Amino acid sequence: MQPLLSGKRVLVTGGSRGLGRAICQVFARQGARVAFTYNKNEAAAAEVLETIAAEGGQALAERCSVLDAKGTAALVKRLEADWGGIDVLVNNAGITQNLPLALLEEEDWDLVMDTNVKGAFLSSRAVLRGMIRRKEGGVILTMGSLAGVRMLEAPIHYCASKAALVGFSYALAKEVARYKIRVHCLAPGLLEGGVGIKVPDHRLKDYLDNCALGRLGTFEEVAELAALMASDRASYLSGEVVVADGGL
């Protein structure tokens, strides 16, 4: 069977660690040419490139904050010039802080909301302009969270930012459908090695007790689902929030 993303040109924001790293590796394994951004850790980015190259894939890394509008636009233009276009954007870059609302400073709120929401806006805007101009369709896949679609005990500003991405995805899917561009939001539950490692034991136990599969998910599992959603095999899927939480 042909790889899911054979020949696709993909940009992933925040691809040097965690779920972003898994997405880059799985997408490359599925035949995509992958470019990813990272914020600071050059060594981690180099490890991702080495891993992908060792498996015979193609990837490149660019140090660029998702809040750097000019840098993001310049990166997109370079990729379009070198590749002829971008078929898939994965808005993955995001942060959180484990702080209760009463202790949140205005700067904390702005940092999380800007990184998680404004970052997705800036990246999507940069990529969509080329997608619309080329008239070849495309996919925008934004990584949400269970915290954005369920009532959970989690940092308020993180929940608010992930809920905002749901509305962003719904509205954008409707707006760009005329250009044959599909927009999705993938909302994972707790994952091994993710924010779940900072969850208190009593909350983790409550999650596992109520999860039908009785376990945490893995980065690899979510990345494989992301690859399917970004592929042509999901060609009739758009404007959806897909929750991957093990059956909570």
| Residue in 38, 158, 170, 179 annotated catalytic | 158
Q: Report how far residue 11's alpha carbon sits from residue 85's, in angstroms, rounded to the nearest whole number.
A: 10
Angle at 58 between CA 55 and CA 62, to 5 degrees: 120
Instruction: Mention every residue, 6+ apart, whose C-beta is less than 8 A from residue 151.
Output: none
Q: Report how far residue 208's alpha carbon sits from residue 216's, in angstroms, rounded to the nearest whole number.
A: 7
Q: Report how far residue 76's alpha carbon sits from residue 131's, in angstroms, rounded to the nearest whole number.
A: 11
Q: Report how far residue 11's alpha carbon sits from residue 122's, in angstroms, rounded to the nearest whole number.
A: 13
66: number of CA atoms within 13 Å, CB side? 31
Position of tokens 């980065």?
Answer: 219
Cross-strand bridge partners of residue 10: 34, 88
Please name which of 141, 140, 135 lies closest in space to residue 178, comparing C-alpha atoms. 135
Q: Where are the alpha helices (DSSP H) in the chain?
A: 18-29, 42-54, 69-83, 106-113, 119-134, 156-176, 201-210, 219-230
Whether 158 is catalytic? yes
Asked if 20 and 93 count as a contact pair (C-beta separation under 8 A), the reply is yes
* Residues with active-site annotation: 158
